[in-house]
Amino acid sequence: MKLTVVGGGYVGLTTGVCFAHLGHEVMVVEKIPQKVELLRAGRSPIYEPGLEELMHESLSSNRLKFTTNLKEGLEFSDVIFICVGTPQRPDGSADLSQVEEVARETAKLMTSYKLLIEKSTVPVNTHQLIKKTVQRYIKSPDIPYDVASNPEFLREGSAIEDFLKPDRIVVGVESERAKKIFEELYKDFNCPIIFTDPATAELIKHASNSFLAMKISFINMVADLCEKTGADIKLVADGMGYDKRIGRDFLNAGIGYGGSCFPKDVKAFIRIAQDYGLDFGLLREVDRINQERPIRFVEKVKRVLWSVKDKKLAVWGLAFKPNTDDIREAPSIKIVDMLLREGAKLSLYDPKAMENFKLLFPEGKGISYAKDPYSAVESAEGLLILTEWQEFKRADLGRVKGLMALPLIVDGRNVYEPEEVRALGFEYYPVGR
């Protein structure tokens, strides 16, 4: 099939590259010219494992094209995936201006049938707003179109695998014509395909993300209780997780969820409920608990070190999760900021996210960036772990101890087994253990 993807970010690029890999012809429309230049040269503007390799494959077989020109994208195909950003507004609601722009400009340019698909995460009933916008700006009322919802559930760090082998595909459609296009598109996917109305599909996405965020805040509160009582959160989570009704995923205690989805989607879902006259107090608590995690972590660091003023601390991990360079809403941002205010001298290291982090925290004024994890810990009086990269799990802790001024680790991600690290002579402070 011929497909057009509007927005070449984490979701749009993965969508385009994966559909091209599956044999479709894809044109990605990205409005930032520098990104398109990079992409045409076969370079990904984001770090996502396996993405660049798959991109090369499709570029060389000419199944993947990039443009800045929406008109070109609309002439290329009838199936338009909207993958633009839906960031958070100051009041917590979703900013849909990028979606509105795509709907409006598409309406002005289209001359024949188009299926407009929301892949971006949007509040329930956004499809109604898209339809209204298209009706307003379309050249002629005789041009047919459909609006559908096909939310994306991929996770950064495993986006390719998640896209190609999803747990389920959710499609909200209103016409047989649109349904048939999706049936053809997803016919080789070996997973349940749930056809619903668009409002239900939109709601499934926000409800799923909010539920997962709720699991994380829940286990983080239980971790605090473990620290007070001497219980072990990892075993508690295992003990709970074997229950099929609960499941072990998303029960890892830590410094809270971050990224471009959970924090904004939980807030947006609270707002959506409010707009319809409902108080989703449960989610307000989920959000509150999460916002406090970085504060609790810094309190712990201060409790352990008494004062951090003028102390050199190494920080391993800045990305909001492993295998990505994304630092949007990463807990590291708040933690680094609070420690700097306390007068700490920080030596930061992350395998992929340092360039992005430097844009927020340039070198100097208490901040330096290390070339590897070992140079970060040189003469440090504490090592703080903020992201659970494999590189840290496999680190030579004997070497780390030899380099540090004080062998002390405050681990925000429970990367190590406490007995093993303590046996090496470290003071070790994990979460909830």
Establish if 12 lies at the interface with ligand NAD (CB under 6 A).
Answer: yes
Q: Which of 4, 58, 98, 387 binds ligand NAD (CB under 6 A)?
A: 98
Establish if 258 lies at the interface with ligand NAD (CB under 6 A).
Answer: no
Q: Which of 58, 67, 86, 252 binds ligand NAD (CB under 6 A)?
A: 86
Give 252 or 260: the residue with its C-beta nearer to ligand NAD: 260
Establish if 48 lies at the interface with ligand NAD (CB under 6 A).
Answer: no
* Interface stretch with ligand NAD, choices 10-18, 332-340, 347-355, 374-382 (CB under 6 A): 10-18
Instruction: Kindly provide the b/e burial profile for residues 357-395, where b requires at least 16 CB atoms within 10 angstroms of the residue's own CB.
Output: beeebeeeebbebbeebbebbeebbbbbbbbbbebbeeb
Establish if 10 lies at the interface with ligand NAD (CB under 6 A).
Answer: yes
Give 55 or 408: the residue with its C-beta nearer to ligand NAD: 55
Q: Which of 44, 77, 106, 121 binds ligand NAD (CB under 6 A)?
A: 121
Establish if 85 lies at the interface with ligand NAD (CB under 6 A).
Answer: yes
**What residues pair up with 88 in beta bridges, in sequence order?**
94
Give 45 or 241: the residue with its C-beta nearer to ligand NAD: 45
Q: Which residue has the CB atom at the shortest distance from ligand NAD?
A: 9
Q: Which of 80, 84, 110, 344 binds ligand NAD (CB under 6 A)?
A: 84
Establish if 214 lies at the interface with ligand NAD (CB under 6 A).
Answer: no
Residue 227 C-beta: closest distance to ligand NAD, Å: 31
Residues 6+ apart with CB under 8 A from 151: 118, 119, 121, 170, 201, 202, 204, 205
* Interface stretch with ligand NAD, choices 83-91, 241-249, 374-382, 405-413 (CB under 6 A): 83-91
Residue type, 407: P
Establish if 9 lies at the interface with ligand NAD (CB under 6 A).
Answer: yes
* Interface stretch with ligand NAD, choices 24-32, 109-117, 128-136, 179-187 (CB under 6 A): 24-32
Establish if 101 lies at the interface with ligand NAD (CB under 6 A).
Answer: yes
CA–CA separation, 193 vs 182, rounded Å?
A: 10
* Interface stretch with ligand NAD, choices 1-9, 270-278, 346-354, 382-390 (CB under 6 A): 1-9
How many CB atoms are located within 10 Å of the residue 246 CB? Answer: 13
Tokens linked to 354 = 């340092």
Q: Which of 204, 216, 261, 348 binds ligand NAD (CB under 6 A)?
A: 261
Give 270 or 298: the residue with its C-beta nearer to ligand NAD: 270
Q: How many residues lie near ligand NAD (CB under 6 A)?
A: 26
The answer to whether 261 is a known catalytic residue is yes
Give 152 or 287: the residue with its C-beta nearer to ligand NAD: 152
Interface characters, 129-158, with ligand NAD (x: CB under 6 A)? -----------------------x-x-x--
Establish if 31 lies at the interface with ligand NAD (CB under 6 A).
Answer: yes
| Catalytic residue selected from 18, 83, 226, 261 | 261
Residue 108 C-beta: closest distance to ligand NAD, Å: 13
Establish if 409 lies at the interface with ligand NAD (CB under 6 A).
Answer: no
Question: Quick one: three-class SS letters along the chain?
Answer: CEEEEECCCHHHHHHHHHHHHCCCEEEEECCCHHHHHHHHCCCCCCCCCCHHHHHHHHHHCCCEEEECCHHHHHHHCCEEEECCCCCECCCCCECCHHHHHHHHHHHHHCCCCEEEEECCCCCCCHHHHHHHHHHHHCCCCCCCEEEEECCCCCCCCCHHHHHHCCCCEEEECCCHHHHHHHHHHCCCCCCCEEEECHHHHHHHHHHHHHHHHHHHHHHHHHHHHHHHHCCCHHHHHHHHHCCCCCCCCCCCCCCCCCCCCHHHHHHHHHHHHHHCCCCCHHHHHHHHHHHHHHHHHHHHHHHHHCCCCCCEEEEECCCCCCCCCCCCCCHHHHHHHHHHHCCCEEEEECCCCHHHHHHHCCCECCEEECCCHHHHHCCCCEEEECCCCHHHHCCCHHHHHHHCCCCEEEECCCCCCHHHHHHCCCEEECCCC
Q: Which of 44, 58, 106, 120 binds ligand NAD (CB under 6 A)?
A: 120
Give 27 or 102: the residue with its C-beta nearer to ligand NAD: 102
Interaction site with ligand NAD (CB under 6 A): 6-12, 29-32, 35, 83-86, 98, 101-102, 120-121, 152, 154, 156, 260-261
* Residues involved in catalysis: 261
